[in-house]
Every structure is written in C-alpha cells, then in structure tokens.
Amino acid sequence: MRERTALAHLRHFTEYRIDIHACNHAAQTVGCSAATFVFARTMPEPHADNIPGNVTWEPSSRNSVLLRWEEPRRPNGLILKYEIKYSRENEKVASVVCVSRHRYAQHGGFHLALLQPGNYSAKVRATSLAGNGSWTGLVRFYLLGPEEEEAGNVYVLLTLMPVVLMVGVACLAVLVFVYNRKRSTEGYPSGTLYASVNPEYFSTSNMYVPDEWEVPREKITVLRELGQGSFGMVYEGVAQGLEEGGQETKVALKTVNELATMRERIEFLNEASVMKAFRCHHIVRLLGVVSQGQPVLVIMELMTRGDLKSYLRSLRPEAENNPGLPPPSLRDMIQMAGEIADGMAYLNAKKFVHRDLAARNCMVSEDFTVKIGDFGMTRDIYETDYYRKGGKGLLPVRWMSPEALKDGLFNTHSDIWSFGVVLWEIVTLAEQPYQGMSNEQVLHFIMDCGVLERPENCPEKLHELMRWCWQQNPRLRPSFIEILESIQEFMSPSFRALSFFSKRKRCGSSEALEAETEQLLAGKEEEWEGPALSPHSL
C-alpha cells in the first residue's frame, strides 16, 4: 500500500528536498531508517508576477518621461526583466521596450526617450523564471509641443511666485523660533541619548567591503536555473569582461535567498571570500562578486557535471540519468582521488583546514576533472548528511574523525580521515557511509574505534589507502603529499602538468618556492592546458 500525505503552506515556485524516514515512534528519531528523498518544485502562483498598483509617470525632459511602478512582492523565483508596451494616440502599431531588472533598479522605473509631442498610453508587465505576469492597466500621459511648453512656463511662474514668497516667510519664522529656543536652553542637555554596548569597537565580520573582485551587475546575464544551494538558488549565466579581450565567459551564479537577513547575506559573501586566496587547478575558482544591489551574486567557475556525489550516482548502471558511461575503472578512481588530494594538499600548504571534505563538496568539470568545491555552500542540498550534536551546529558525523567527534578538533589529520571516506564513496558510487545506522549510532561507532567495511569488489590499492587514512592515532595518518606520492604513477599527463603536487616537486618544497608556484598558477595555466580527458581514457 502506498502512503500519501500533503504538505501545505509551502512557498510557491520553490524547489524542496523532501526526506522520508520510517520510524517506530513519531516522537523519537533514534532507530529510524535511512532517508529516501525526492526533489520537487511547487507550482507557480498565477498572480505572483503581477505588478501591484498603478504605473505612474513624470516628465524628465522635453521629449522623455519617467515611468515608475512597483516590483512584484513575492514573484515566482527571480524577476528577469520588464516589458513596456506604449503607443501614441492614433498609431496602430505599439512599441515594446525590454527593461532589465538592473536598469529598473537604477531609477525605480524606466525613461522613455525621443518621444514626439502628443497623447500616449503605456502598460508594463514583469517576466520571472516562471514566465510572464499580466499587463498593468494603461497609464496615459501627454507631451507638450514647444509653443505649449513656453506658454505653460509663464503660467507656472505666475502661479508659483506667491507660493514661494509664503514659504520664505514661514522658513524665516521657524529660524527665529529655533534661535530663541536654543538661547533659552543653553547649558542644559536635552534630546535623546543613544547608547552602545561597546562604542569603542565594531565587528568587521558584520560588514562586507567591495574590492577588486567586484563585478558590475550589468555585465552578468542569467541563463537558466541549475539547482538549490545552501544560501539560495544557483544559476548558469554569462559574464562579460572576466577574461582578457572582453569575451563572454560561462559561469555559475550563486544567489542569496531573498528572505535572508543582512547577517546571512554578509556570511554568504564572507564564505565566498575565503576562495579569493586560492589559485589551484583542482579547486573551483572564484571569478567575482556582485555585492552592490540585490540579489547578491557570487560568480564561480562553471562545473557542468555537478557535484561528485550526484555524478557518481549517475554512473550506476540502473541510474535513470546515466550519461551512457560505464562505471569508473581503477585508474579512473585513482585519478579522481589524486585530483581531490592535490586540491587538499594545496589547502594544507595554505594552512587551511577544510572540515567538511566529502563527495558532495567536490565538483566535476566538463572534462571530468574533479575539484574541491566552494566552501560552506552545499550544506542545505544534502542536509541529511549532517547531524546536530547536543544543540550545536550541524556536523557531518559520517565523514568526521574520532578526535573531531570527541574533542571538536579539526586539522589536516581530520581532513585525511574524511578523504578516506571520500575514497569509500568513489568505490561505492556514492553510497551512504554506515548505511543502516542512525547518526547517533554512527557517532558512537566511530568513537569506539569503528571504521567502514571494505566495499564489495574494492581494489586492494584503494582499500590500503582507506585503512591508512583511518588510523586511530592521527599522527600515523599520511599527509596529502604522501598519498599523492603513493599514486603518482597512475596519474594522467595533464595532472603532472597542472597539479600543485607536480609543480611543488619541480620547484622544491621550501616556503620560498611557494610564491613561485603561485606565480606559475596565475600566469601559465593557459600554457599548461592539455587535451580534454574523459574518465575512461586512462
């Protein structure tokens, strides 16, 4: 028998992930089954994209007017553009103007220019991700000819002179009153005093300062929706001027939810700012930030094949979205592992601890290269991979080391443990680690020295790496450089040309040569660009 239930009070035209657990008791989650989930989008609201109120107008010059209107209050996703349809009286063919949301935001409307004198009518409609809204009612306006305008100016001057004189007298009276009041109260404090908890300090974490990464909003065009991110939606788009020569670049655009608080918007930008310091072929590149205006955008390198977890699951023979590729071979799996380890080795050299290394946080490019994804931005997509321990923040317990679970200790050794779990995900095509156990059970299992079982048909080489990463003593675990040294013979020629590991070997490992590596990464990446690799070409 198929159970059915209805979820009410959801936001319109919004994608939700719905997780379903089988539980023995409604009030207790311990002992529940692992979740099965489905992505679903609610239907668009029929009138959500309609412009509220009336369109108004005001003259802006001799032959132009400024049309103003309000934006839809709760549109179906993003508003992409507005259309203005206008015509002069007795003209049968109406003109249509397309207004981007950015141009609208500059003036709260749009200037209709180069108009001839006469009577006009106009109407406006909005276009969102769900389609077009309804046209507004007609607004009618009249542009004066030169003779009418001159006569009107004389009339206005004669009308306004008495008004200006009265306003001047009133202002003078107010000034005299304020001056006398100030003299009578001199020497005594008055008015409102504003107190601060600590007026000497202001937290810079509560602000975001635009810098050289700022990209003008008009250089960004949204093409299509890619999916849901932890802060908001993710779109494919095009950016102009990011590359030399001014040509267009396909990018991923991450947005913050329109309902987000100012603190959440700043947190969104600050988490993206972490990536400004990284320049490695196996880390997804930050390309720019649009912090001025709404919505806030983070511009990332476009990874067309999505996150590694979804990509691995698509390679299962029974997967509905299988791209027609066979499951990865041993060399394919080692290639993926090496690319992830190279990105992590770079982060380690930068003294950066990831804390959340998992297949869901790695991305796959068009040429099948695996890269460390943007940090802190995928949590909501796979929320069931996280667990809230003792009222604290969400924790990825199935990927965490024993010392991280016991003492909250995160360092490169705990990242190595997580890397071992990623190897397990690669071999199993992204099965859930510790399948059949609740998060609470997993937590106790790991702290009691438990580790994942060897996957079925797992190559010995990869299982050796897993066991090496899962040493109970953190100091006995390998570094990412040691992992790469153990598998370097299996890596592709392009890896040897582009990887941080290979450049480090050529230049030496001293800190003095780290700057040279950075310079090479910044200036020679195009020179090292090799032919595209498929995951089965090794």
Across residues 456-477, what is the average pLDDT? 96
For residue 5, give both structure tokens.
């239930």
- The burial class, CB within 10 Å (0-12 / 13-18 / 19+), for 358 is buried
Confidence category of residue 36, pLDDT binned at 50, 70, 90: confident
Distance CA 398, CA 375 (A): 18
Task: Determine the Cα–Cα distance for residues 138 and 56; give it in Å rounded to an integer.
Answer: 10
Q: Are 404 and 343 in contact (CB under 8 A)?
A: no
Q: What's the Cα-to-Cα distance from 229 to each of 173, 257, 295, 493, 514, rounded to whole Å?
A: 60, 9, 14, 34, 33
CB 249 within 8 A of CB 241: no
| 345 within 8 A of 500, measured Cβ to Cβ | yes
Looking from the CA of 124 toward its CB, the CA atoms found within 13 Å total: 29
Per-residue pLDDT tens for 326-357? Answer: 999 999 999 999 999 999 999 999 998 889 99
The answer, yes or no, to whether the previous bond of 162 is cis (omega within 30 of 0) is no
* Range with the poorest average pLDDT among 57-61, 159-163, 311-315: 159-163
What is the per-residue pLDDT for 35?
Answer: 78
| Average pLDDT of the residues in 46-66 | 91
Active site residues: 356
The Cα 410–Cα 403 span in angstroms is: 8
pLDDT of residue 203: 44
Q: Which of 131-135, 340-344, 356-360, 514-518 has the lowest mean pLDDT?
A: 514-518
Rounded distance, CA 190 to CA 197, Å?
22
pLDDT at 396 over 80: yes
Q: Considering only residues 441 and 227, tell me which one the structure prediction assigns the higher pLDDT.
A: 441
Q: What are the CA-CA distances from residue 144 to residues 66, 85, 149, 150, 536 (Å)?
A: 15, 21, 6, 9, 72
pLDDT on residue 149 = 53
Residue 285 has which token pair? 């590149």
Helix axes 412-427, 330-349, angle to 10 degrees: 160
- DSSP lists the bridge partners of residue 249 as 239
How high is the mean pLDDT of the chain?
82
What φ, ψ does residue 323 adopt, rounded to 5°?
Answer: -75, 5
Q: What is the percent of the chain with per-residue pLDDT over 70, rounded to a whole number? A: 80
Q: What is the pLDDT of residues 64-99, one digit of tens each?
A: 999 999 999 999 988 999 999 999 988 888 899 999
Report, as an integer, the average pLDDT of 229-248: 81
**pLDDT, mean of residues 59-66:** 86
Q: CA 372, CA 360: separation in Å to the nearest integer? A: 10
Q: Does 371 appear as a known binding residue? A: no
pLDDT at 122: 95
CB of 53 within 8 A of CB of 21? no
Structure letter (DSSP) for residue 34: P
Report the interhelical angle of 330-349 vs 500-507 (nearest 10°).
60
Using a CB cutoff of 8 Å and minimum separation of 24, what contacts does 219-227 make?
220/253, 220/290, 220/297, 220/299, 222/78, 222/80, 222/253, 225/77, 225/129, 226/252, 227/15, 227/306, 227/381
- CB atoms near residue 214 (< 10 Å): 13
Length of the chain: 538
Q: How far is 273 from 377, CA to CA, in rounded Å? A: 12
CA distance 77 to 129: 6
Q: Tell me if residue 226 falls in helix, strand or coil.
A: strand
Dihedral sign (CA 340, 345, 348, 350): negative
**pTM check: above 0.75:** no
pLDDT band at 33 (very low <50, low <70, confident <90, very high): confident
Lowest mean per-residue pLDDT among 124-133, 262-271, 387-396 = 387-396
Mean pLDDT of all residues in 359-383: 77
Residue 194 has pLDDT above 50, yes or no: no
Q: How confident is the model at residue 450 (pLDDT cuts 50, 70, 90)?
A: very high
**Residue 29 pLDDT grade (very low, low, confident, very high; cuts 50, 70, 90):** low
Are 396 and 358 a contacting pair, CB within 8 Å? yes
SS3 content of the chain, % helix, strand, coil (to 5): 35, 20, 45
Q: What is the pLDDT of residue 299?
A: 93
Q: Using an 8 Å Cβ cutoff, are 217 and 102 in contact?
A: yes
For residue 446, give the nearest of 491, 406, 490 by alpha carbon. 406
Q: What's the pLDDT at 210?
A: 82
Average pLDDT of span 383-395: 56
Q: Which of 176-190, 195-209, 498-512 has the highest mean pLDDT?
A: 498-512
CB 300 within 8 A of CB 251: yes
pLDDT of residue 50: 96
**Residue 443 is encoded by which pair of tokens?**
């937590």
pLDDT of residue 460: 95
Return the higher-pLDDT residue of 433 and 176: 433
Span 153-160, mean pLDDT? 58
